Structure 1
Amino acid sequence: MIPFPNISPDIFAVELFGMTLALRWYALAYIAGLLLGWWLITKAVKTPGLWAPGRAPMVPEQVERLLTWVIMGVIIGGRLGYVLFYQPGRYLSYENFTADPMAALRLWDGGMSFHGGFAGVVVAGLIFARREKIPALPVGDLFAYAVTPGLLFGRLANFINAELWGRPTDAPWGVIFPGEAAQTCPGIIGLCARHPSQLYEAALEGLLLGALIFWLVWKRGWLRFPGRIMGTFIAGYGFARFLVEFVRQPDYQFVSEGNPLGLAFQINGWGITMGQALSLPMILVGLWFLLRRQTP
């Protein structure tokens, strides 16, 4: 077993007028991911040789406006996805909503869904493409090209926050995450080690998938085929997330005595988690974009 590293979720904190203002690693991951993504997209649109007609679908000035739409899509979609997919009873039940109607909007209380953020970015990208009179598929390719560093940073921040850990394991790389919830492991006496599923996702969704997409863009010229890079990302993320879900601890609301694996949908003891259910459509959609016939 590996002890959890002594890393504070806060990079720094200051007291100001009786309030504590802190910069957290999770917030920095979002900021760094968005800024790096903006830089990568700007670099791509400034490289005419990456595109089929020898001209990018947008100019750098439009990338700045695109960043605003992406930020809105990530925040609104990510929060709504968490509320609808993972905590509808907590936020949307009549009793809870009437008691605290603003609870779903309090981002600082935690709770963001990648699948919701993905849907939000898709909607934001479609609106941006229509407003700017740009083909939608190249915009989607640019999103897919730029997003993996942000995923890497985000999953590393999840690990630092000691959240979204995996199921109990006796593997030598199992991590002893702090907190009562992480240490509540049925049938285990003493310290409970868990899969560092955040690091698995960082490696698969961030490093491996990102390296593949960068190679396809810069060495294979796949931006000349609108939709291919987007399809690679969608299918690749869906497949990686589907695999990690086998060792990732599901959200507590899905776990019960009769359902210790936290399966959201099951028949005769066989089933899938909510993360897997949301990833399957991504795999199918991504494969469709990859396999459809297209010439540059």
Structure 2
Amino acid sequence: MPLLAIPFPMIDPVAVAVGPIAIRWYALAYIAGLLIGWWLAKRIAAKDALWGPIRHPAPLDVDDLIVWVAFGVILGGRVGYVLFYDPAYFAANPLEALKIWHGGMSFHGGFLGAALAIALFARSKALPALPLFDLASAVTPVGLFFGRIANFVNGELFGRAGDVPWAMVFPHGGPEPRHPSQLYQAALEGIALLILVQILVRMGALKRPGLVGGAFVAGYGVARIVGEQFREPDAQIGFLAGGLTMGMLLSIPMLIVGLVVMAAALRRPKPE
């Protein structure tokens, strides 16, 4: 081990074990993200002044919405991982796709699953979809933060080899000291993005449907592209053409779509 490398803090991925039942930090991260996001979304939905005359979800709607979004994230995240990151393996072993407890989730797939769930929920409740999407976007960075912290605890999705003073030797990353890219991504996708969308909410952006949602989508695209500069590509994929990674490739459309949605929201006249 290089003398200047920081040893990886060997945290047991199992938080609590009672007999054969094991609760992992990864599961607790999902639960914490959903519960805190649910609480924050209810607070935002309850403040009519933030929305102005825009028809928006009530706090009781959030109680139902969180269930729809949770299923959308889990199903979409797994399907996205199967299709985007290892389709050949799952084509040869289709039953493995059902074993979600073995790990393997894609944010981009989860995002598409959540977006579909929001659209279906809006239709079932006869609510406008864009305010729902804005509300979900205002709290999603909370879940992203906890998810990246769980990646770090598991020692997975580690960074590329580097010589920075805070480089770590990860248990599954070989002897080279590496960037703790999970922490970088937690700071970018979680903390920085949460600050951005919350500032927009406080500045009245919810009165322009689509503005907060577009800012989140574009902001995530930027944060993920930056974070991918330090993250080791998935072993089964490696680098793509031009030095791109799969994460970058999937985030570029998010950046473009987010900017288009923001521009469309700003072109609409602000409601009085």
What TM-score do the two structures reach when normalised by structure 1? 0.87
Alignment partner of 2:6 out of 2, 27, 33? 2
Aligned to 1:238: 221
Contact 1:148 1:205 (8 Å CA) reproduced: yes
Aligned to 2:195: 211
Aligned to 1:78: 77
Aligned to 2:209: 226
Name the Cα RMSD after superposition: 1.2
Where structure 2 has 5 or more consecutive residues not aligned to the other structure, the ranges are none
Asked if 1:263 is matched to 2:239, the reply is: yes
Superposition pairs of residues 119-198 of structure 1, within 5 angstroms: 119-179=112-172, 182-183=173-174, 191-198=175-182
Matches of 2:244 and 2:171, distance apart in 1? 27
Range with bigger deviation, 72-81 or 208-217:
208-217
Matches of 1:282 and 1:295, distance apart in 2? 25
Matches of 1:61 and 1:240, distance apart in 2? 32
Contact 1:46 1:56 (8 Å CA) reproduced: no
Instruction: Give the drift of 1:56.
Output: 5.2
Matches of 2:200 and 2:254, distance apart in 1? 20
Q: Deviations over 1:26-62 (max 9, x none)?
A: 1011001111111111111111100121x65122222
Q: Deviations over 1:128-169 (max 9, x none)?
A: 011111111101101100101111111001000000001111
How many residues are matched?
A: 264
**Counterpart residue type for residue 199 of structure 2:** W
Which 4+ stretches in 1 moved above 3 angstroms? none
Q: Deviations over 1:101-145 (max 9, x none)?
A: 421011111100000000000100000011111111101101100
Where structure 1 has 5 or more consecutive residues not aligned to the other structure, the ranges are 184-190, 255-261
Q: Which has the higher contact order (CA 8 A, sep 6+)?
A: 2
Contact 1:52 1:225 (8 Å CA) reproduced: no
What TM-score do the two structures reach when normalised by structure 2? 0.94
Partner secondary structure for residue 252 of structure 1: coil
Partner secondary structure for residue 11 of structure 1: strand
Which structure dedicates a bigger proportion of its chain to helix?
2
Contact 1:48 1:56 (8 Å CA) reproduced: no
Identity of aligned residues (%): 51
Superposition pairs of residues 248-259 of structure 1, within 5 angstroms: 248-254=231-237
Partner secondary structure for residue 90 of structure 2: helix
